[in-house]
Amino acid sequence: MLTPERHRKIIERLGEKQVVTIQELVEATSSSESTIRRDLSQLQKEKKLKRVHGGASLLHQKSEELSVVEKSARNFSEKEKIANFAATIVNDGDCIYIDAGTTTHLMIPHLKDKEITVVTNGISHLEALTEHQITTYLIGGLVKPKTKALVGSGALNSLSTYRFDKCFLGINGIHLEAGFTTPDPEEASVKRLALSLSQEAFILADHSKFNEASFSKVADLHEAVILTNELDEDAAYDFEDKTEIRVVTP
């Protein structure tokens, strides 16, 4: 089968199923696994699909933004592992920024015995932070109903008065060319400023965020360390010289 025909079959199968495995494509095209891997890499470069562990999926819409409830239901166990690992990086005496988000929210119970100061733009974080008696500052700003994040000029002005040892940010996309991205420009601005005010910056992202690009850029890949739950060989090869990635051990 010629390459253009294989590519057409791959795209057609993705349109039907949203996610396909390499083995399915091997059988559908009567091709070798190495050929399909090359095809998927080429189609990803052409922005026609996204490589995932063991196969490929359709790209998400650039402006897609899920609610807190919808995000919480996705990849919960993976997020919990990443959050637990992120909390081990925090030391007594640290002043840290915790971004609004579901994975960053899961860090909070693991910080309960640490002598730290937290600044956040996440309204949904407040109950857990105060419950665990963690010294907390909430920045001002406009409330985003969907993500319960504080954004806008008020948030930027309030945030700019602080400096951090470490910041922990959620993200929607990690892409070789686009860097770290998120759907909303205002939320991207808050994340970008928090990163610039921190001595160390960490992106908390499960494996589904790799090779995705959302509407608004937050930062280049080299500006933060990525904490994730798994990284397949293809992604490790692609990203190894662009940024530092720490994979949570089981």
Instruction: Report, as an integer, the average pLDDT of 81-97.
Output: 97
CA distance 118 to 247: 24
Q: Which helix (H) or strand (E) holds 12?
A: helix 3-17
Helix spans in 134-241 (H): 153-159, 185-196, 233-239
| CB-CB contact of 92 with 116 (8 Å) | yes
The pTM of the full predicted model, rounded to 2 decimals, is 0.76
Token pair recorded at residue 105 = 């929210």
Amino acid 69: pLDDT: 47
Q: Name the CA dihedral angle for 199, 82, 180, 15, rounded to a multiple of 10 degrees.
A: 180
Instruction: Give the mean model confidence (pLDDT) for residues 92-111.
Output: 96
Pairwise CA distance, residues 1 & 85, whole Å: 46
Judge whether residue 120 has pLDDT over 90: yes
With beta carbons less than 8 A apart as the criterion, state whether 54 and 70 touch: no
Backbone angles phi, psi at 204, to 5 degrees: -95, 115
Q: What is the predicted pLDDT for the residue at 213? A: 87
Q: How far apart are CA 186 and CA 92, in angstroms?
A: 32
Helix axes 22-29, 33-45, angle to 10 degrees: 110
Question: Is 90 exceeded by the pLDDT of residue 167?
Answer: yes
What does residue 170 show for φ and ψ, rounded to 5 degrees? -85, 160
Q: What is the pLDDT of residue 73?
A: 45
pLDDT at 72: 45
For 229, the token pair is: 């739950």
Of 244, 248, 241, 179, nearest in space to 216 by CA = 179
Identify which of 182, 184, 152 has the alpha carbon closest to the alpha carbon of residue 170.
182
- Among 6-20, 62-76, 79-93, 216-230, the range scoring the smallest mean pLDDT is 62-76
In eight-state DSSP terms, residue 221 is: G
